[in-house]
Amino acid sequence: MLAQRDAFGDTLVELCETDSRVVVLDGDLANSTKSDKVAVARPDRFLMMGIAEQNLAGAAAGMSTLGLIPWVSSFAAFLASRDLDQIRVVVAQPRLNVKFAAHYSGLLTGYTGKTHQVVNDIAIMRSLPNMTVIAPCDAEEARAAIRAATLWDGPVYVRLTRDPIATITQPADTFEIGKARLLRAGSDIGIISTGTQTVRAMEAIKLLANDGIDAALLHVPTIKPLDESAIVDLARRVDCVLTCEEHSVLGGLGGATAEVLAAAYPTRVERLGIADVDGESGPNDALLHKYGLTAQHVVARARRMLARV
């Protein structure tokens, strides 16, 4: 069990040692987002920018024009909404080389309630031209995604979560921006998931296998650019598709999958995610249960789709 935010802090310290272009800009959340590891190890590469997210994003944009690679570290809720115009106008439109570490995404934000939870950031970010959107499934993949994003030419939004989660990615697994990973082949139902919801989906396919249901699991860490051929290939091999994400059912991976399959290979698709509602404060287990994101919810939904209740 490792937290993506710890992986973020450690990886950025490592990148600051190996790449002289890397700089971390913090919105006064360094001890939450673990960019404090950089602040301590490499104070020369760390800039505390205050509780001022609009200036934070704009400053990063300017810095990137000098060939530096600024990592903007803040909460996803603030980056995707408060900073949207700055990201749109001075980062995405000019396609500047700014990286966003969007921490505390989804519902599991440590008892913050809806103001600090963002459940539609994938939908917002993937609708911006030039933006790349990645939601890694665990700490190991977060490390790889952060390294890849640093080397990617253009803006990248990396969606990260707060709390420790089981590691399902092996250090030997390759990570490539824009590539999905088939974690299990199967013929009854194709489950497509992103972010840390993939860890719960992994648990779900094991439970389904115990019931004799042969479910495939395609993990899609890059929501944009989307690995459309992997999604279509999966759809060709199964009866129906269920998307899973700790995100709104509107416009996220579910929306992206439905858009692809509607055009390329019409398939029955259902979307498991957060209904069109805001979150609330609460323990993680209670939140996952109430908003329908546990492995058991994935199992129940898959069984219902297959009429094997």
Partner 1 sequence: MNASQIAKIGNDVRRRVLLAVQHAGAGHIGGVLSAADMLAALYFRILRVDPARPDWPDRDRFILSKGHCAIGLYTILALRGYFSLSELDTFDAIDSRLQGHPDMTKLPGLDMSTGSLGQGLSPGIGIALGARMLGKSFRTWVMLGDGEIQEGQIWEAAFCAARYELDNLTAILDWNHLQQFGWATSQGYASIARRDPLDQAREKWEAFGWNVFECNGHDVEEFIAVCDAAVAAKGRPSIVIAHTIKGKGVSFMEHDYTWHSRPLSKTDVDRAFAELGY
Residues that bind partner 1 (CB under 8 A): 23, 44, 47, 49-50, 52, 54-66, 68, 70, 85-86, 88-90, 93-95
125 Cβ neighbours under 8 A, 6+ residues apart: 80, 87, 131, 133, 157, 224
Nearer to partner 1, 156 or 208 (CB): 156
Nearer to partner 1, 67 or 171 (CB): 67
Which pair of tokens denotes residue 258?
């439905």
Output the CA angle 207-212-213, nearest 5 degrees: 75
Report in angstroms how near the CB of residue 55 gets to partner 1 at its nearest.
Answer: 4
Report in angstroms how near the CB of residue 237 gets to partner 1 at its nearest.
Answer: 41
Report in angstroms how near the CB of residue 9 gets to partner 1 at its nearest.
Answer: 20
Nearer to partner 1, 91 or 122 (CB): 91
Report in angstroms how near the CB of residue 48 gets to partner 1 at its nearest.
Answer: 9
Cβ 123 vs Cβ 111: under 8 Å:
no
The b-or-e profile of 84-106 (16+ CB within 10 A means b, else e) is bebbbebbbeeebbbbbbbbbbb
Q: How far apart are the C-alpha atoms of 271 and 74, rounded to whole Å?
A: 28
Nearer to partner 1, 31 or 93 (CB): 93
Nearer to partner 1, 56 or 180 (CB): 56
Nearer to partner 1, 1 or 153 (CB): 153
Nearer to partner 1, 54 or 294 (CB): 54
- The CA R_g of the chain, rounded to the nearest whole Å, is 19
Cβ 28 vs Cβ 48: under 8 Å:
yes
Which pair of tokens denotes residue 166?
């089981």
Report in angstroms how near the CB of residue 152 gets to partner 1 at its nearest.
Answer: 17
Report in angstroms how near the CB of residue 104 gets to partner 1 at its nearest.
Answer: 21
Three-state secondary-structure class, residue 10? helix
Report in angstroms how near the CB of residue 178 gets to partner 1 at its nearest.
Answer: 22
- Outline where DSSP puts E strands in 148-221: 156-159, 181-184, 189-193, 215-219
Element (H, E) at 149: helix 139-151
